[in-house]
Chains A and B, each alone.
Chain A
Amino acid sequence: MNEQPKRIRIDHAEARSRPLAPDGAAEREAQPRGARTRKGRPVDHAEAAERFLAAPDHLSFHDKRLWDLREKRDREARGIPEWEQLRGLASQIKEHTLARLDDYLEEFERRATASGVVVHWARDAAEHNRIVLGILRGAGASRLVKSKSMLTEECGMRDFLAEHEIEVVETDLGERIQQLDDEDPSHVVVPAVHKLRSDVAAVFARTLGSDPSNDDPAYLAERQRMSNRPLILEARVGMTGANFLVAETGAVVVCTNEGNADLCASVPEVHIVSAGIEKLIPRARDLGVFIRLLSRSALGSPITQYTSHFRAPRAGGQMHVILVDNGRSNRLGMDEFWTSLKCIRCGACMNTCPVYRRSGGLSYGATYSGPIGLIIDPTIDRHKYSQLPYASTLNGSCTAVCPVGINIHEQILSWRRVMAEAHEPAMGKRLSMKGASAVLSRPAAYRRAVDAANAVLPHMPRFVLYNPANAWGKGRDVPAAPGQSFHAWYAAHRGPRR
């Protein structure tokens, strides 16, 4: 073991996992997998969540890790007296920009073009992917090194490029883990947070030839770095996403923690930026609002390790920016849902969501999971994601942490209304709602139902009460009915003497 390289441990913002099992523990819990998608059927979040809940080590780590981020976020937010004003300002800037998006997009295009950047417009995922392929072909490249981007996930770019014999190399550690495991990212900021380090050790042993019994995070990170760095150094084309596009300067701003985005942007001759059209902000000084909010909300750290501004191609190189719509204009036209475009993809709503923390991002079966996913995904495919708005208790914590003031939990409720109006919920649910309405709007019928329950429930044997159709009773007890309703008590004690 003495030829092992010297280890340098860096406890950066994404922190390190703690060992969950004592060294040498024989049985590693298998990683629960995500939602099973079946053609034409809505994603069944509840089913996938149940499998996640059946893996206690994964559940416990996932819940604690993300709750820890939420607590760090709270501490950072409390450290800034004007925090709530910042959130309000961020919301106003985004709403202003979205209301004049066409103007700001054109301004960005003018400024960027004047600096020598090639600006492309992509109506949808297919057009985006074709543009990327064209740039790669033009550069004679057969490989693309890239940093993290939810947009390219949304566009299915990796699969498309693979079909055209282009190898895509993810350079963000978490994203690379997910790529090597042939899984989608489960979180917008920490894409492999649903995995234990033992899972990562197994993936790297299988794909990178690392020691399967070594799940030390520093060792694993180093293995990934050693396998990726030569690919970055050889690459002709690199890609990054964008956190912000500044209209007045034509600058692309990328916020990361690993430095890989800067390598992808700076080492190859060609730099491609894939950005959704909602990433625009009007002025460079608006960054002062967003940069202060972004990493504090995301990871509870004051700022990302790198906040890089790209304004022009390097000497002798090329810089391309692809502005992607892919359903965003359509969303912008939705009265109740357009403000979801304010999202800066910090993931705070996911970290705080008690349902997300207990079901894992892959249980949503969509590019965007957690609370923000519940309100974005149905704009992409209403039927496929028709059950997602029900994967929430409407507790509102997502709205309270959102740095750009999206009323997430209210939009979740609005989506339920849209789904009900479109008859998306299952027949059984629709009938039970109609039945409930009929009983609850007729006092005599309601009274008969309550009296019947109070007559029957106290005497019902346990095996009858806890029958398989009683979903309530599967994991918790049914309240003991007192045998007398309040209504009956009131009539007996306060009602008119008869």
Chain B
Amino acid sequence: MRIGLFVPCFIDLFYRDVGIATLELLERLGHEVAYPPDQTCCGQPMGNAGFVAECAPVERLFERNFSGFEAVVCPSASCVHHVRNKSGIDAGLKSRVYELVEFLHDVEGPDRLPHARFAHSVTLHNSCTALRSLDHEQPPELNLPAAQRVSKPRALLARVEGLSLVETERPDECCGFGGTFSVSEEAVSARMGQDKVSRQQASGAEFVVSADMSCLMHQAGCAARHGIGLRYVHIAQVLNSEARA
């Protein structure tokens, strides 16, 4: 499949290795992956703040960059949620945009994953969009039939040799990032993050793994401020952990 790799702006700037892991993982699955160099952002920062008019030119640029691909894969649930469910981006293109975990689980299937080994105890952080908008897992508030209780990230992590999952209390509670909320409601946001990382620490995990690097950026910042020695990695980095071994 000819895949366009969409690397969100903050991952481009701060988390080069998440982009590399995503790229390599898709290539190891046999795909032809291209990174359109003129890409910037999906428009979510403006869209989530209600500035729809300011979103539009960014969305047009997204269309110019990605309309030529069979599939677009992005290692960020919140960006994919914006593109698919909130943006004014062309409907045909929208339907071809996948978040990485979805792509690996739904399109590829977990048994197609290349071998990975990550001999650490890990706690999973489902972002609110991954949980409640992209159906990575059943949100605990809902009482859905057993057949719908599939966890996509857990199905993928189950393939990783040596990895042990431990649970964090209040797993579904928002960590407080929330985009511009992190700045406009700085005090509440930081407190939510502090509560989240304290519970992650209490889980006994060495690593926090998530499909959303933006949550992890916030959580890692809170952990560092409170002297908590947890490490924060994107699920692509765990699944691609054997690439250059």
Contact = CB atoms under 8 A, between A and B. Distances in A.
Interface in B194-232: 194-195, 217-218, 220-222, 224-225
Contact of B128 (A53, A80, A395, A430): A395
Interface string A223-240: 000000000000000000
A101 B43 CA distance: 40
Nearest to B170: A67
B100 to A, nearest CB: 14
Contact of B9 (A53, A359, A440): A440
B142 A476 contact: no
30 contacts: A45-B185, A46-B184, A46-B185, A84-B143, A354-B192, A355-B188, A358-B192, A390-B180, A390-B181, A391-B188, A392-B178, A393-B128, A393-B177, A395-B174, A396-B133, A397-B139, A429-B49, A429-B184, A437-B54, A437-B57, A443-B38, A443-B40, A474-B186, A475-B189, A477-B225, A479-B217, A482-B17, A486-B20, A487-B35, A490-B35
B185 A84 contact: no
Interface string A367-405: 000000000000000000000011111111101110000
Contacts of A425: 49-50
Interface in B28-62: 35, 37-41, 43, 45-46, 48-52, 54-55, 57-58, 60-61
A139 interface: no
A393 B181 contact: yes
B220 A479 contact: yes
A421 B54 CA distance: 11
Contact of A420 (B51, B58, B132, B173): B51
A70 to B, nearest CB: 8
B187 A74 contact: no
Contacts of A83: 143
A433 B41 CA distance: 13
Nearest to A391: B185
A430 B45 CA distance: 12
B55 A46 contact: no
Nearest to A496: B37
Given A46-B188, A84-B144, A358-B191, A440 B181 contact: no
Contacts, number: 224
**Closest CB pairs A-B (n = 10):** A475-B190, A416-B50, A393-B178, A476-B221, A486-B19, A441-B57, A437-B54, A395-B128, A400-B141, A395-B174
A418 B132 contact: no
Given A395-B178, A400-B139, A401-B141, A446 B192 contact: no
B185 A440 contact: no
Contact of B132 (A80, A354, A400, A494): A400
A434 interface: yes
- Interface size range on B against A: 35 or more
Interface string B160-185: 00000000001011101111111111
B40 A441 contact: yes
A50 interface: yes
Contact of B58 (A81, A421, A430, A437): A437
A472 B188 contact: no
Contact of B46 (A413, A436, A476, A491): A436
Q: Which of A394, A396, A415, A430 has the most CB of B within 10 A?
A: A394
Given A390-B181, A476-B224, A420 B50 contact: yes
Interface in B75-117: 86
B49 A53 contact: no
Contacts of B140: 74
A119 B181 CA distance: 46
A459 interface: no
